[in-house]
Structure 1
Amino acid sequence: MNDSLITDIHLHTLRVPLTEPFVISLGPIETVQNVVVRISTADGRTGWGECSPYMTINGESMDTCVVVGGYFAQLLRGRDSADIAGCIGAMDGVIYANSSIKSAFDMALYDLAAQRAEQPLYAYLGGHRNKVLATDMTVSIGSPEKMAADAARFWKQGFAAIKVKLGKELEADTARIRAIREAIGPDAPLRVDANQGWRDASYALAVLQALAPFNIEHCEEPIPRWQFLDLPALSAQSPIPIMADESCGDAHDAERLIRIKACPMFNIKLGKTGGFYKGLKVAQMGEAAGMELQVGGFMESRLGMTAAAHLALANDAIHHCDFDTPLMFTEDPILGGIGYGEGGVIDVPEVPGLGATVDPAWLEASVTNATARL
């Protein structure tokens, strides 16, 4: 019997309240609603994956991920887990898009493959520990006073960079950044993310010009993603470098943006690309185009963020990390995984595979919407 044949697949829901609502231009989040995938193989190994669906970005919810994950569980029964390309192709053949839940299955398959190779996942992906990974810390949308206080607290805690959620009116967003700069000083690394919140390129340019005096490193997704054809002109005129996020999902999106010279930076997320198999392609394309890359996420726990950290070590063009969401959780259900050090420095596990699992006691105590056992 082939030791790498898939014998069991389990889907678990993962709900964790946040310490306080996390607010972006697309709306607030109060509770994490993720899905965890466990894939077991004939040799007794278990691979873990997690997705954090975001209805307003990838069009998926926890409930849809459980349903579609059930299709994938039936599909992959008895398949060779080592044939990652075949498993990915099979899932794509069943249903279009659904990149979030696909990423959880992809993650678990790569965890198994790296375990079998007796390598940390980043090494299995061809990466090296040749750089320091340090996460920023994000300030969500609120009053200028609240945002300034949050930024000052994060800066005092030693995070190497502050990321600020914007995407409202020019005057309000400018007031927010002004207050934050007054709180953290003129030189602290500061980044902004509009989450498509400025209504068009003309308005976005006006906001970016207003923010220019505040020494902003880059701005993520300033305009609605369907207006991507306006990104080249906006990027050329903007005093702040533009980073594509929602408009850059998989390799097809990346190719389109590169061909039109849309912007100099990409934000890669496993939940957008569908996992490592396609995420690595986006990174390679960005690197070949001379772009500066970031790896981020949605609202993953340390399980999903550990996967993101392995990806960040797999490509030299990845310079920025946005791995802060687990720090917003009221509970930490993960065993192993990345650690957070001084200055937001990320410690990546040096064990075979992903190096992170979900605490069995936490799984037993949690409410499970669906478990698919093959």
Structure 2
Amino acid sequence: MAGTTIQSIELYKLFVPLKEPFVISLGPINTVQNVVVIIRTQDGCAGYGECSPYMTINGESVDTCFIVGQYFAQVLKGKNALNIADCMQAMDKTIYANCSIKSAFDIALHDIAAQHSGLPLYQFLGGKKDKVLQTDMTVSIGDPAKMQQDAVKFREQGFEFIKVKLGGTKEMDVQRIAAIREGIGNDVPLRIDANQGWPTTEAAIEVLNALAPFNIEHCEEPIPRWRFMELRQVSDQSPIPIMADESCGDEHDAERLIQLNACQMFNIKLGKASGFYRAQKIAKLGAQAGMEMQVGGFMESRLGMTAAAHFALSNDHIHHVDFDTPLMFTEDPIIGGIQYLDKGVIEVPEVPGLGAVVDDSYLQKAEKFIYA
């Protein structure tokens, strides 16, 4: 199809300060540093994608993404945008890994394909609106009193699910959860995320058992991801279900974890999986294994989170969503996209494609690269 031939590719650096630092066990983030990709075809269609590189998780930065994206622009120009498998193969042959920037290209390609099909992206992916997407709100790791204050604030704002960042000593992490429970009571479900913060299997098991009385729904990535062979031991001895996050990047990781019976749940992120193309493979494997899954993200704006929300509607086994980071921004650079309703409920756009674009006023002042 000549009209769907890729004519030009644009890259933009998108910087947005946060209302306050977002802190996990791997370190703090003060300013969002993302990359926006716009792919234009000969028939005038434009597909938008975004990635949020996380140096301590996927080993990419806004600068590496910006440079590697220029390599991708050179190999993708002239290709059929609707042949997503071919485009993904071209990027994989260009450079290994770099899943964050690959995800931005993948999202833009799927946006184009869904627009050409005349369907909202979730329908293009085979999904339907038969469930409510309701995001949690995340409490950064820190002083127990501050974490309690944040949890109380989120509860008062109406959020019905609260996620808590942990990953310190047993004594401190128990103090943190105890303080939060003292502030919000026992009825609100808590989800915890250690971000690999407990250094050994024994330490993780000890902390998880100490947290058992606090009504915890699940725990993400309790131990360093390279200890994946030990994750089954943690899962077997933990009273709290274990969700693989950093150790589950692509479909090969997912298959390995399933074979090992390493965990009960997956957290799928487009920025880890290189986009929809591989994320769908992870979800299919998880569903076949009877797993509950979550869709999360890094520090994407409503553009990237809109993509994640479309994906969350594509598989019946995706039960949880973690789409709160745009609520932490000091500015909203996105037109269209998901809307946040009461109690953290997410409304997904019904227009063909992704349904979200970046306001031109932000792109005009951004550092950019255009390959035409």
When normalised by structure 2's length, the TM-score is: 0.99
Match of 1:372 in 2: 370
Unaligned runs of at least 5 residues, structure 2: none
Deviation at 1:3, TM superposition (A): 0.6
| Residue aligned with 1:163, SS | strand
**Distance between the aligned counterparts of 1:259 and 1:373, measured in 2?**
43
**Are 2:341 and 1:351 aligned?**
no
Deviation at 1:363, TM superposition (A): 1.3
| Residue aligned with 1:219, SS | strand
**Are 2:360 and 1:360 aligned?**
yes
**Are 2:256 and 1:256 aligned?**
yes
Match of 1:242 in 2: 242
Deviation at 1:156, TM superposition (A): 1.0
Match of 1:229 in 2: 229
**Distance between the aligned counterparts of 2:247 and 2:200, measured in 1?**
14
Deviation at 1:362, TM superposition (A): 1.8
Match of 2:117 in 1: 117
CA distances 1:40-89 after superposition (whole Å, capped 9, x unpaired): 00110100000000000000000000000000000001110010000001
Match of 1:274 in 2: 274
Deviation at 1:294, TM superposition (A): 0.1
* Root-mean-square deviation (Å): 0.6
Match of 1:71 in 2: 71
**Distance between the aligned counterparts of 2:360 and 2:263, measured in 1?**
44
Deviation at 1:264, TM superposition (A): 0.5
CA distances 1:207-242 after superposition (whole Å, capped 9, x unpaired): 001110101000000000000000111101101000
Q: Map 1:175-186; keep pairs closer than 5 Å.
A: 175-186=175-186
Q: Map 1:279-298; keep pairs closer than 5 Å.
A: 279-298=279-298
Q: Map 1:26-65; keep pairs closer than 5 Å.
A: 26-65=26-65
Instruction: Give the aligned length.
Output: 372
Deviation at 1:373, TM superposition (A): 1.9
**Distance between the aligned counterparts of 2:160 and 2:282, measured in 1?**
26
| Residue aligned with 1:119, SS | coil
| Residue aligned with 2:35, SS | strand
Match of 1:171 in 2: 171
**Distance between the aligned counterparts of 2:260 and 2:341, measured in 1?**
39
Counting aligned pairs with the same residue, the percent is 67
- Which one-letter code corresponds to 1:283 in the other structure? A
| Residue aligned with 1:127, SS | coil
- Which one-letter code corresponds to 1:53 in the other structure? P
Match of 1:205 in 2: 205
Deviation at 1:367, TM superposition (A): 2.9
Q: Map 1:304-343; keep pairs closer than 5 Å.
A: 304-343=304-343
**Distance between the aligned counterparts of 1:260 and 1:346, measured in 2?**
34
Deviation at 1:142, TM superposition (A): 1.3
- Which one-letter code corresponds to 1:367 in the other structure? A
Match of 2:214 in 1: 214
| Residue aligned with 2:4, SS | coil
CA distances 1:112-166 after superposition (whole Å, capped 9, x unpaired): 0000001000000000000000000000011111000100110111112000000
Unaligned runs of at least 5 residues, structure 1: none
**Distance between the aligned counterparts of 1:132 and 1:242, measured in 2?**
23
- Which one-letter code corresponds to 2:268 in the other structure? I
When normalised by structure 1's length, the TM-score is: 0.99
**Distance between the aligned counterparts of 2:230 and 2:371, measured in 1?**
47
- Which one-letter code corresponds to 2:366 in the other structure? V
**Distance between the aligned counterparts of 1:79 and 1:234, measured in 2?**
46
Q: Map 1:76-115; keep pairs closer than 5 Å.
A: 76-115=76-115
Structure 1 ranges of 4+ moved more than 3 A: none
**Distance between the aligned counterparts of 1:301 and 1:35, measured in 2?**
10
